[in-house]
């Protein structure tokens, strides 16, 4: 296995509501991303994927666990101590409308991290980096003088990608980077990220609720449910041999375009709503929606175990 760029160990993120209650956004999540690899993190909205990403990049201070970036423990570093390491790890946000400063030109948006990390000393000097990265993401140098509101959603996301990539990071956290875009644009953005990865060998943590797109981009897939990782394995394995009932439900929820195949489909999606992360169910958190739940599922939380080489799972059905 190649060298890990990110190690997440027992990461926990609880947001206090008051003295007694907290939102259990992330609980005991562990995974490793190697250099040049993409780990796709999937699950329904509200399952903790974005909280996990924001804790890793230290927008939030983790409540527990450990985050190692290229071997350095960054879990409790101050923002000042983190600053030099930030160029190794960048983020692409979900909403290209909200994440770009409307009062800055595209040139200034992309030059900002270069100036912050003292890679260049002036905006003029930054152009040597801004123009090539704009062209690399499918825009032109003529776009550099325009403002974000002059662009379409897809173009804005390309600007967000250019800003993240201009520092040549080792790891990019992509927080639902395509979900706000038209379907016709989604594949273009994903192809751009993949091509750049093949060129530069960077790693991605790719967060999405769309399992079909995650299959296309990921080497490894992690499935999250109500703040916890329930299945983690090779991308092809998760689609050919899904084991956790929740993963199977997510896969069954993917719409099938062919009506004949859709009629033949044996399984249905997941019934019921996601329980509150303030009071998650005892034992297995999925038990209130699981068609296979048995008495032990309400009493004992299942542990993540390796059921076959490289395939980890938390479910009593496989104890």
Kindly list the residues in this chain that would bind ligand SF4 in the complex (CB under 6 A). Answer: 245, 284, 286-287, 290, 292-293, 297, 302, 315-317
Pairing between strand 203-208 and 22-34? Answer: unpaired
Minimum distance from residue 288 beta carbon to ligand SF4 (Å): 8
C-alpha–C-alpha distance, residues 139 and 128, integer Å: 15
Minimum distance from residue 239 beta carbon to ligand SF4 (Å): 19
| CB nearer ligand SF4, residue 114 or residue 232 | 232
| CB nearer ligand SF4, residue 148 or residue 315 | 315
Minimum distance from residue 197 beta carbon to ligand SF4 (Å): 33
Minimum distance from residue 294 beta carbon to ligand SF4 (Å): 6
| CB nearer ligand SF4, residue 158 or residue 289 | 289
C-alpha–C-alpha distance, residues 5 and 203, integer Å: 8
Minimum distance from residue 111 beta carbon to ligand SF4 (Å): 49
| CB nearer ligand SF4, residue 163 or residue 287 | 287
Minimum distance from residue 277 beta carbon to ligand SF4 (Å): 17
Minimum distance from residue 241 beta carbon to ligand SF4 (Å): 16
| CB nearer ligand SF4, residue 64 or residue 283 | 283
């Amino acid at each position: 296995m190649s060298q890990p760029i990110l190690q997440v160990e027992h990461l926990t993120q609880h947001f206090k509501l008051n003295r007694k209650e907290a939102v259990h956004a992330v609980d005991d999540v562990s995974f490793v991303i190697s250099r040049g690899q993409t780990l796709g993190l999937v699950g329904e909205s509200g399952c903790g994927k974005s909280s996990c990403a924001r804790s890793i990049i230290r927008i939030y201070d983790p409540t527990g666990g450990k985050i190692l970036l290229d071997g350095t423990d960054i879990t409790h570093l101050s923002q000042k101590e983190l600053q030099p390491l930030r160029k190794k790890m960048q983020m692409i946000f979900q909403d290209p409308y909200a994440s770009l400063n409307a009062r800055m030109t595209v040139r200034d948006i992309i030059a900002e991290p270069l100036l912050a990390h003292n890679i260049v000393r002036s905006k003029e000097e930054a152009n040597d980096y801004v123009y090539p990265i704009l062209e690399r993401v499918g825009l032109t140098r003529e776009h550099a003088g325009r403002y974000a509101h002059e662009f379409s959603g897809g173009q804005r996301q390309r600007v967000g990608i250019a800003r993240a990539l201009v520092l040549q990071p080792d790891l990019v956290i992509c927080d639902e980077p395509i979900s706000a875009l038209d379907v016709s644009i989604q594949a273009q953005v994903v192809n751009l990220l993949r091509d750049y990865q093949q060129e530069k060998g960077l790693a991605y943590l790719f967060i999405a609720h769309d399992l079909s797109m995650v299959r296309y981009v990921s080497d490894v897939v992690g499935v999250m449910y109500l703040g916890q990782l329930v299945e983690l394995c090779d991308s092809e394995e998760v689609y050919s041999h899904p084991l956790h009932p929740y993963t199977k439900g997510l896969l069954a929820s993917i719409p099938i375009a062919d009506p004949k195949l859709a009629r033949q489909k044996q399984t249905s999606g997941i019934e019921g709503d996601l329980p509150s992360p303030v009071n998650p169910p005892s034992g297995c958190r999925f038990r209130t929606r699981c068609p296979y739940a048995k008495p032990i599922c309400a009493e004992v939380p299942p542990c993540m175990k390796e059921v076959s080489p490289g395939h980890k799972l938390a479910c009593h059905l496989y104890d």
